[in-house]
Amino acid sequence: AGNQLMVRKGKGPIMPRPEWHAPWKLMRVVAGHLGWVRCCAVDPTNEWFATGAGDRTIKLWDLASGELKLTLTGHISPVRGLAVSDRHPYMFSVGEDKLVKCWDLETNSVIRHYHGHLSGVYCCALHPTLDVLCTGGRDSSVRVWDIRTKNQIYCLSGHKDTVGSVACQSTDPQVISGSQDSTVRLWDLAAGKAYSTLTHHKKSVRGIAIHPTKHLFATASSDNIKQWQCPDGVFMKNVETHKAIVNCITVNRDDVFVAGYDNGSMQFFDWRTGYNFQTEKTRVQPGSLESEAGIYATTFDMTGTRLITCEADKSIKIWKEDETATQETHPIEWKAAAPGQEKRW
């Protein structure tokens, strides 16, 4: 299997050599928001993407040109999560104002509200095959909504602190949530309860990324990034990060795995081996404070060839792979850890 260590006869496992990935470079800076840009979602047709920010607006941008297409207002506090449906012409937004909104993209207006959260809502995710929306927030619960009827199907309770990240997939675990109580819970959507709690992290879990092709997922915390196997959440390995707060992680089909940090740095890893092949430091917009370098959300477009980062200097940056790079210009500088030296915590 792609993630298993190879075992030699009579010796410990050897790590496979990392796959070569081209380094990424900044392609475009998109400005227009008047507050920290907190979340991003890409349209399934790959023509546009949406961002939500601390200025309480949602802006839709053309992916190819970076031009502003539309600004949606309606939230009365910062917008913290966005999700675009690939089965309906709907977009969902959540904010610190406890509101969960469903936008009709044909009329560009709100058609539904989902009421129930007791405090700010910090994340949302759409189920890929069911008409279900999952939201998590400061009331320590993950709520599962029927998109059509606006009914709350479940209130998945169990976390002891704010739920900061949630992810959905069509196979078990269908809902994965990460919380500031430093646990990750895997939920059984049919029973409406958690069937596994992963307590390996020492700090709050701020990011979850599900691999698009392999049956694996990763969770990010200030201590490190951990990879897990579905469906039971079997611990695979740690990915060493530098000592900063990880805000978000994302992975594409080519096994490029990106982490965005609160201090404005980004690390690019090879998913299979955890090899860090590039570290970038974002540059703040002219007129911004140096301390406003912070990355709040990262996402790849549908092709996996463009990376969108949402930042604290109110800008959105689009990155792409460097076409001129080769294995000779950017060689892999990789040294395998000796057997038994890998950290297990």
Q: How far apart are the first and last CA of the chain?
A: 23
The b/e string for 229-239 (b: 16+ C-beta within 10 A; e otherwise) is ebeebeebbbb
**DSSP single-letter state for residue 148:** T
Give the tens place of pLDDT for each residue, 98-120: 999 999 999 999 999 999 999 99
pLDDT for 7 equals 47
pLDDT for 337 equals 66
pLDDT for 147 equals 97
**Rounded distance between C-alpha atoms, residue 243 and residue 229, angstroms:** 25
Tell me if 208 sits within 8 A of 218, measured CB to CB: yes
Segments of the chain with pLDDT less than 70: 1-14, 336-345
pLDDT for 201 equals 96
**Rounded distance between C-alpha atoms, residue 157 and residue 323, angstroms:** 47
- Other CB atoms within 10 Å distance of the CB of residue 225: 23
What torsion do the CA atoms of 16, 19, 23, 29 make, to the nearest 10 degrees? -100
For tokens 């897990």, name the residue. 228
pTM for the full predicted model: 0.93
For residue 105, give both structure tokens.
């993209």
**DSSP single-letter state for residue 211:** -
**Rounded distance between C-alpha atoms, residue 26 and residue 28, angstroms:** 6
**Rounded distance between C-alpha atoms, residue 218 and residue 3, angstroms:** 13
HEC letters along 59-125: EEEECCCCCEEEEEECCCCCEEEEEECCCCCEEEEEECCCCEEEEECCCCEEEEECCCCCCCEEEEE
**Rounded distance between C-alpha atoms, residue 169 and residue 210, angstroms:** 8
